[in-house]
Structure 1
Amino acid sequence: MEHCPALELVSTIRHDGNGGVLDDLATAEQTAAWLAEHGEPSADTTARLTVDEQLHGEIITLRRAARALFARAVSPAPPSPADARRLMPAAEALELLNVFAASEPVVPQLDWPGDGGPTVRLASSVVDTRTRLIAALARAVIDFLAGPDRAQLRACTAPRCVRYFLKTHGRQEWCKPSCGNRARVARHYGRQRAATSP
């Protein structure tokens, strides 16, 4: 699968392997490490960035909005269990996402080198790296939700899994093979209990 910043952001909430949930962005330090590892939305932005509590809070709020809209995108299927009881209302999520995206005004610029084909880049006069980061993450979520991949978005149905994923083949129900194994084992034990109960 090709790099998808929006899916990577929402995937910072994940199953810990023991029945709980891990948050890869639980602290400002973890958030800084995640941004450094992913190098998005642009390496020059994240390289010069200090993640303080305010920026950490903004990224968490943006992730909450994105997960709420991902839940809406997979509907009528159920959302991720991590979101089911505490989803931000969709209207609030949309408003937040659009506010974050609009915090950096950008204009498309056409680049066309003599030895290659034309490409489009977004140009900005904003120098504040924090604003650029939040706006770029928000635009990545918008691009994903308005793009063709949204139709393949699913919430993993494996027990205890909390991930969203892109369905890559017809009968795929889980984000990864280990989730499929866990789901099959749970179904097997469920049938065993049903067969032995009075």
Structure 2
Amino acid sequence: MRNMSDTLLAAAPGAEEHPCLALVNSASGLPAGKRYDELSSPEAAAAWLLARDLIARESVLHEHCRGRLAALRADLRDLLTAHTTGDLPTIEAVQAVNRALTCAPGALLLRFDPTAGFTRSADHPVTQVIEHVMAVIAEDAASLLSGDQASLLASCEADSCQRFFLRTHARRQWCSTRCGDRVRAARAYARKREVHSV
């Protein structure tokens, strides 16, 4: 199933490798004041997570799960914004990410199957699917913000775009060619109007 952002925007640089960037970018502005939200319903959130191999195909999300994921997205946006602007993040956002980091049990439980013998696997019943996903995304965010790639993190400079990306080169200002083209076209239009108004 393709959604609006898939058809209009390519993944921002770094978003395929970092689920935290993909999550933050799952809602943003589009030209003409429109918005998209890839987590708009439990089914949409499940499809988004499945497309990134973060849940099993048979996983079911409820509205409560979608809401928790959307809340984590808002907290991550706060942290990424603070990082890229040099502002202080809110204590609540840092605490929310820390809660997400620790909410999923990390121990692999011992299992026994008469045919397979002893195996180990994490126990993620339906009530823990979202905790596991949030822990994975929070771990990625914590590693990104505190690691070597932190200095590459940037926010798109196009008006109305609120996506984050990793700079592929120092002069990169936009998350996509589409945003860059839009900004350049707006500048050209403004120059043309200025010339004609003189």
TM-score (structure 1 length as normaliser): 0.75
Q: Choose the corresponding residue for 2:28, options 3, 7, 14.
A: 14
Q: Do the aligned partners of 1:25 and 1:34 also contact (CA within 8 Å) in 2? A: yes
Other-structure match for 1:3 = 17
Aligned residue type for 2:79: L
Aligned residue type for 2:51: E
Other-structure match for 2:60 = 50
Give me the whole-angstrom Cα distance separating, in 1, the residues matched to 2:129 and 2:175.
33
Other structure's SS at 2:56 match: helix
Offset of 1:159 from its aligned partner?
2.6
Other-structure match for 2:3 = none
Q: Choose the corresponding residue for 1:60, options 70, 78, 85.
A: 70
- The alignment's C-alpha RMSD in Å is 2.4
Deviations 1:43-99 (A, max 9, x none): xx433421101111110010000000010110149xxxxxxxxxxx62110011101
Other structure's SS at 2:20 match: helix
Aligned residue type for 1:54: H
Aligned counterparts, 1:124-135, within 5 A: 128-135=128-135
Other-structure match for 1:37 = 51
Q: Do the aligned partners of 1:46 and 1:129 also contact (CA within 8 Å) in 2? A: no
Give me the whole-angstrom Cα distance separating, in 1, the residues matched to 2:65 and 2:135.
12
Aligned residue type for 2:194: A
Give me the whole-angstrom Cα distance separating, in 2, the residues matched to 1:164 and 1:90.
18
Aligned residue type for 2:59: L
Aligned counterparts, 1:108-123, within 5 A: none
Deviations 1:103-133 (A, max 9, x none): 124369xxxxxxxxxxxxxx85665333212
**Structure 2 spans left out of the alignment, 5+ residues:** 1-13, 109-120
Give me the whole-angstrom Cα distance separating, in 2, the residues matched to 1:143 and 1:76.
18
Offset of 1:15 from its aligned partner?
3.6
Other-structure match for 2:137 = 137
- Structure 1 segments of 4 or more deviating over 4 A? 123-127
Other-structure match for 2:149 = 149
Aligned length: 169
Give me the whole-angstrom Cα distance separating, in 2, the residues matched to 1:196 and 1:76.
40
Q: Choose the corresponding residue for 1:25, options 18, 21, 39.
A: 39
TM-score (structure 2 length as normaliser): 0.75
Offset of 1:193 from its aligned partner?
3.1
Q: Do the aligned partners of 2:30 and 2:160 also contact (CA within 8 Å) in 1? A: no
Other structure's SS at 1:184 match: helix
Offset of 1:14 from its aligned partner?
3.0
**Structure 1 spans left out of the alignment, 5+ residues:** 78-88, 109-122
Other-structure match for 2:79 = 69
Cα distance change, pair 31–125 in 1 and its aligned pair in 2 (3 A): closer
Aligned residue type for 1:146: S
Identity of aligned residues (%): 30
Other structure's SS at 1:106 match: coil
